[in-house]
Amino acid sequence: EVQLVESGGGLVQPGRSLRLSCAASGFTFDDYAMHWVRQAPGKGLEWVSGISWNSGSIGYADSVKGRFTISRDNAKNSLYLQMNSLRAEDTALYYCAKDSRQYQLLPNWFDPWGQGTLVTVSS
């Protein structure tokens, strides 16, 4: 069974940094692109960032470009999101999601999703 478990969320002041992690199991992690998707409280879904199987291709939403950095460690079956210069509008539940197809970072759907880790940016 595929499992994605996010961690690292919490309360952080505006302008500070936070690093999220996603531990993957139940599939060959280094075969798949991976993504971060977020959901502000009571709101809809927003794709944040994606990374190809070998970190060769990376993409970001305009709203986080230049502030967030996605990375992965295939030896540890882990995905990361380094979030710098955090803003109040970054407050959200951050989901780790597995790409539906193997290897390249191409526009795709997500299956499955983790349960999310909550990031709250507030002074």
Partner 1 sequence: EIVMTQSPATLSVSPGERATLSCRASQSVSSNLAWYQQKPGQAPRLLIYGASTRATGIPARFSGSGSGTEFTLTISSLQSEDFAVYYCQQYNNWPLTFGQGTKVEIK
Residue 2 as a binder of partner 1 (CB under 8 A): the answer is: no
Residue 107 as a binder of partner 1 (CB under 8 A): the answer is: yes
| Closer Cβ to partner 1, 30 or 46, answer by number | 46
Residue 5 as a binder of partner 1 (CB under 8 A): the answer is: no
Binder among 92, 95, 119, 121 for partner 1 (CB under 8 A): 95
Per-position x/- string for 46-85, each x denoting binding to partner 1 as judged by CB under 8 A, each - no binding: xx--x--------x-xx-----------------------
By the 8 A CB rule, do 32 and 99 touch? yes
Q: What is the DSSP string of 33-96?
A: EEEEEEE-TTS-EEEEEEE-TTSS-EEE-TTTTTTEEEEEEGGGTEEEEEE-S--GGG-EEEEE
Query: What is the bridge-based pairing of β-strands 117-121 and 10-12?
Result: parallel
| Closer Cβ to partner 1, 3 or 17, answer by number | 3
| Residue recorded with tokens 């795709």 | 108
Residue 79 C-beta: closest distance to partner 1, Å: 15
Query: Measured in whole angstroms, how far is the alpha carbon of residue 12 from the centre of its chain?
Result: 17
Q: Which amino acid is at 99?
A: D
User: Which residues contribute to the site for partner 1 (CB under 8 A)?
Assistant: 44-47, 50, 59, 61-62, 95, 100, 107-116
